[in-house]
Amino acid sequence: MSNSSASSETFTRSCPICEACCGLRVEVNREAKKVLSVRGDEDDPRSRGYVCPKATAVKGLYEDPDRIKKPLRKTADGWEEISWEEAYAFAGERLKALREAHGKDTLATYIGNPIGHCASGLITVPMYIEAMQSERLFSAASMDQQPKNLTSSILYGDMWAISVPDIQRTDYMLSLGGNQLVSQGSLMSAPNAKKQISDLQRRGGRLVVMDPRRTETAEVADEHHFIVPGSDAFFLFALVNVLFEEGLTNLGHLAPFTDDVDRVRELAAPFSPESVADVTGVPAEVIRRIAREFAAADRAVCYGRIGTCIQEFGTLASWLVDVVNVLTGNLDREGGSMFTRPATGQSEYHMWDGAELNLGRWKSRVRGLPEYEGQLPIATFAEELEDASAGDDRARALVTICGNPVLSSPNGARLASALDELDFMVSIDIYLNETTRHADLILPTTVAIEHSNYDFLFSGTAVRNFARYTPQILEPEAELPDLGDVMLEVAARANGTQGSVLDMMLFEGMLGALVGKAGTPCEHVSVDDARPKLSTEPGIERLLDIMIRTGPYGDAFDDASDGLNLAKIAAEGHAMDLGPLEPRLPGIIRKDHGRLKLVHEIFEKDIERLHESLEARRAPDRLVLIGRRQLQNMNTWLHNLENLAKGKERCTLLVNPTDATRLGLETGGTAKISSRAGSVTAPVEVSDEMMPGVVSLPHGYGHRSSDTALRVANTKQPGANANQLLDEYSLDVPSGTSIANGILVEVAGA
């Protein structure tokens, strides 16, 4: 949708930077190819005009003079621009030759976080992976939400069956490891989280925050308690213990199809509030009171986010969040933790044929760590590339897609060295950054304002069902392709074919899978009848149209139907509100005949590890490190944007006053932070927002390489690479997720 004047037009779209997907109004001069302004869309039914500072990145990324717009090939004399055909031919020739010489697994891929915000990339990923055929696939997932994915796979048979807080109708919200005011809700898409929380409080509800830092969210909460990083599983088990001990369990509507409740009681028995108070830092009487209040609330929800995932017991903590909601009858009911229903149908039972737990079907070569859903833990990344570790069986070629793992994976210095051992590396990226500088070839893509988009992934984690399609606003530079097109072309050339062939395979495969299939809305529609109603143009639009037409709100290819198709969603101009979340269990459970089995051997085995760790956590003078979210940042993405990088240095070490006195630190000084993996230095900020025994350094910094082209980041917000302190050998064992929350450190003045 656009409003025009003589020299400008205003378009509505979603913000492509974080999970909230807020509505924007973008004013542009299309003739001059300029973005004139970016502001909130008051008519968007989700965000209603709200935006955070990151919305300006729509303009900033488009205008950034450091952004790459043509393929770059590394030469002995530096980087040279080449044509797209030369670039694709070069990539295909090298990848194909290495695979033929050393086998399919000599090709590795790393997929970064930005792909989650780009529908063309997300929808293309399965075809890319199938074409590349390699078991060496890595992504940012095992530095993020993978424990939650794993528990959802085990409980529901679907890694993305992640319940989200029904914050708009709850009476009591218990939040662990999340900072909604900064993230706008992570795995809980909730634009303007501050208003969502104030609305909860105005109707008499309460927000209780457990966090080792008094975060922005904790500041507005009704109650905040410090909790020792990495101890969430102990705390949650203590809540469960009280629920059973005091007869507070009430499964309600879940009881007829829920199993293993008695076994959960047995597993929770050793974890009384008194037995875990010292390791969690939460007094026993507080744990008991929270359990009672939670059980007594008419509608309550327990929510855990990244702080509960990237820790030593991330899988157990993620599982126990669901268990608390189940035992109190608050899973899958109004005001509790509920499941979204995206218009594209990815959460529908018919979308998948099986519910097998895809874990450990193959293992990494060096340490033998199991894959999960086709991916190896990022902690194995460097060693799988190194000759000294993997030898002749190492990966010799790498494709990185929208990621900067040198800054965002454990022990980035080791990874940087390993990248230099590769025979060939191609990076699909818009920047010459700390990772892509190691590549032989960089392939840029369009940025958000230059391509269409659909809020695909995050319509699956929204606090209210919605659909939104965003059209292209500005034409890109000549021949500059979308992310999905580049991915398909690289994979195709590695197989000696063209991207158009893979695009057609993806289209025909999706059409055949979703049309005419028994049990679906289109079981009586033939492929031959459906095909003429779809675009003949390649790309994601026709794929989205198939998914929407066959989805839960779709028109099933019936022109007389009131159901949805892509054109109707596009015509809305803003987000299309599809109503509040509704109960979906047991229908979405894709395993065990629709029964919710609470206990699995994976959980039981890890509980043994939890018991074994108890004594070590009681050691005096333990000092542990956590990260923190910041409103102007999105991982490593946005530090090169002038508007977002301005202001004081943000990569600082927060230290509690008691610890600062003990360690001889003061605000404005410099500290050296050391762990088993390495050490970094950072400016000190002394603040009582930190729990004693805990220090905080934000993630995503470390812009200090002389051979990158990140002029703003390198000069205005270089910071320290916190992930250089992460140990690639310390993991949440079940999920393979690297531990970044609660790692042991030593801190001294520098």
Contact 645, 639 (CB under 8 A): yes
């290495």: which residue's tokens?
98
DSSP conformational letter for 131:
H
Distance CA 511, CA 632 (A): 41
Distance CA 301, CA 167 (A): 8
Burial class of 706 by CB neighbour count within 10 A (0 to 12, 13 to 18, 19+): exposed
| Residue 477 pLDDT | 86
Beta-carbon contacts of residue 475 (< 8 Å; ≥ 6 apart):
30, 33, 450
Contact 368, 203 (CB under 8 A): no
- Phi and psi based region of residue 99 (left: phi greater than 0; alpha: psi -120 to 50; beta: remaining): alpha
Burial class of 262 by CB neighbour count within 10 A (0 to 12, 13 to 18, 19+): exposed
């289109």: which residue's tokens?
522
Give tens-digit pLDDT for 528-546.
999 999 999 999 999 999 9
Token digits for 350?
């018919």
Chain-centroid distance of CA 53 in Å reads 20
| Residue 2 pLDDT | 61
- Percent of the chain at pLDDT above 90? 93
Residue 350: pLDDT over 70: no
- From 3, 340, 291, select the one nearest 165 (Cα to Cα): 340
Token digits for 567?
């054109």
Mean pLDDT value of segment 547-556: 96
Is 147-343+585-606 in the same CATH topology as 1-63? Answer: no
Q: pLDDT: is 568 or 616 the higher one? A: 568
Paired with 672 in beta bridges are 681, 748
- Percent of the chain at pLDDT above 70? 98
Mean pLDDT value of segment 564-569: 97
DSSP conformational letter for 575:
P
What residue type is 717 in one-letter code? Q
């030369």: which residue's tokens?
86
Class of domain 147-343+585-606: alpha beta
DSSP string, 295-336: HHSSSEEEEE-HHHHSSTTHHHHHHHHHHHHHHTT-BTSTTS
Global pTM reads 0.96
Mean pLDDT value of segment 336-353: 85
Mean pLDDT value of segment 243-270: 98
Give tens-digit pLDDT for 366-389.
999 999 999 999 999 999 999 999
DSSP conformational letter for 476:
P
On the CB side of 307, CA atoms within 13 Å amount to: 31
Cα dihedral sign for 291, 293, 297, 299?
A: negative
- From 61, 5, 87, select the one nearest 426 (Cα to Cα): 87
Distance CA 292, CA 275 (A): 18
Q: Where are the domains of the chain?
A: 1-63, 147-343+585-606, 620-749
DSSP conformational letter for 375:
B
Distance CA 373, CA 17 (A): 25
Token digits for 277?
């108070």
| Residue 351 pLDDT | 55
DSSP string, 246-278: TT----GGGGGGEE-HHHHHHHHTT--HHHHHH
Class of domain 1-63: mainly beta
The reply to whether CATH 1.20.58.220 applies to domain 620-749 is: no
